[in-house]
Amino acid sequence: MRFDVFTIFPGMFTGFLTESILKRAQQAGLIEIAIHNIRDWTTDKHRAVDDTPYGGGPGMVMMAPPIVHAVESVLGQEQNSTPIIIMSPSGELFTQDIARQLACFPRLALICGRYEGIDDRVRIILRARELSIGDYVLTGGELAAAVVIDVVSRLVPGVIDPESLAEESHNSGLLEYPQYTRPPIFRGLGVPEILLSGNHAKIAEWRRMMALCRTAARRPDLLARAALTPRDHELLQRCPPDPFAHQGPVYEGDQLERPEGGEQGASR
Ligand SMILES: C[S@@+](CC[C@H](N)C(=O)[O-])C[C@H]1O[C@@H](n2cnc3c(N)ncnc32)[C@H](O)[C@@H]1O
């Protein structure tokens, strides 16, 4: 999958794209990210990309011509088949569902605004979709575009182990159950004993229950939309009083921190 990003601050993407999973995905040829400097499509000697707003008011507005010319020249024949997205706090809220839709395309164009935003004719001319990453205002669209690239890239086949994706928060329609790893006791907090039992059916049931209970407690809106089985409804009846409180045993005194492989930690 290819991402074309249009920005006046191309340097902002450097560290983000050259580390960890996105770096490996690019090296493996699973994703390609091209950053385009909108100023390269200006025609005046100052390379201006903004001007004062018609009708008055504070700040500056990004002008339509450099952005439209940049997108048209980079996408060429593929403009009609490529989703063009303007990052905007007044856009639709970006969700995992939208990420799944976008991941089906071979190419995506992302336009980053600055200042007071972008001349609205860009949206009309390019038939762009506006996406917001949350109900707050960033100084620019670069972080928002980075969020979209990150979330969509994880859904490109080969980037992440499909088993990891399946149970993650939002992919399954529920928030994820709590996760633990070594050491078995830290600052007096043990791991829920069921996870050390080796009983995979019981572990799966406990995790499902915790996912349901946490979603019910924190995101009832998601639970209302989730496809629940009769067994899920039974599990919801067994929710701990506070599913976000510590769910494992609590130790005191010399048991505060056990070395790896201690009596609680041998099986996992
Ligand atoms: C300072 S903001 C402009 C805010 C604009 N005056 C308004 O009130 O809607 C500059 C740019 O940051 C980006 N931006 C800010 N908040 C965002 C959000 N929540 N989601 C996506 N992009 C955002 C957009 O590209 C926007 O054009």
Q: What is the pLDDT of residues 193-247, one digit of tens each?
A: 999 999 999 999 999 999 999 999 999 999 999 999 999 999 999 999 999 999 9
Same-domain pairing of 8 and 113: yes
**Full residue range of the structural domain in which residue 11 is found:** 2-163
What is the mean predicted confidence (pLDDT) over 249-254? 84
Which of 163, 195, 220 corresponds to the end of one domain?
163
The model's pTM: 0.91
Using the mean position of ligand 1's atoms as its centre, give its distance from the Cα of residue 91 in Å: 9
pLDDT of 180 higher than 90: yes
Same-domain pairing of 129 and 196: no
Ligand 1 atom closest to 134 (CA): 19
What is the mean predicted confidence (pLDDT) over 136-156? 98
Ligand 1 atom closest to 117 (CA): 27
The confidence score (pLDDT) of residue 253 equals 73
Same-domain pairing of 180 and 143: no
Same-domain pairing of 9 and 108: yes
Same-domain pairing of 20 and 120: yes
Same-domain pairing of 26 and 39: yes
pLDDT of 112 higher than 80: yes
Same-domain pairing of 33 and 68: yes
Same-domain pairing of 152 and 217: no
Using the mean position of ligand 1's atoms as its centre, give its distance from the Cα of residue 61 in Å: 11
Q: For the segment 41-66, what is each residue's pLDDT rounded down to a tens digit? A: 999 999 999 999 999 999 999 999 99
Using the mean position of ligand 1's atoms as its centre, give its distance from the Cα of residue 121 in Å: 16
Task: Give the count of domains, the chain.
Answer: 2
* Smallest CA separation from ligand 1 atom 9, residue: 89
Q: Which residues lie with the beta carbon below 6 Å from any ligand 1 atom?
A: 87-90, 112-114, 116-118, 132-134, 136-141, 144
Ligand 1 atom closest to 131 (CA): 21
Using the mean position of ligand 1's atoms as its centre, give its distance from the Cα of residue 263 in Å: 53
Same-domain pairing of 35 and 81: yes
3 state SS for the chain: CEEEEEECCHHHHHHHHCCHHHHHHHHCCCCEEEEEEHHHHCCCCCCCCEECCCCCCCCCEECHHHHHHHHHHHHHHHHHHCCEEEEEEEEEECCHHHHHHHCCCCEEEEECCCCCCECCHHHHHHCCEEEECCCCCCCCCHHHHHHHHHHHHHCCCCCCCHHHHHCCCCCCCCCCCCCCCCCCEECCEECCHHHHCCCHHHHHHHHHHHHHHHHHHHCHHHHHHCCCCHHHHHHHHCCCCCCCCCCCCECCHHHCCCCCCCCCCCCC
Confidence band, pLDDT 50/70/90 cuts, at residue 260: low
Instruction: Indicate which CATH number applies to the domain containing 141.
Output: 3.40.1280.10
Same-domain pairing of 70 and 145: yes
Q: What is the mean pLDDT of the chain?
A: 93
Using the mean position of ligand 1's atoms as its centre, give its distance from the Cα of residue 113 in Å: 7
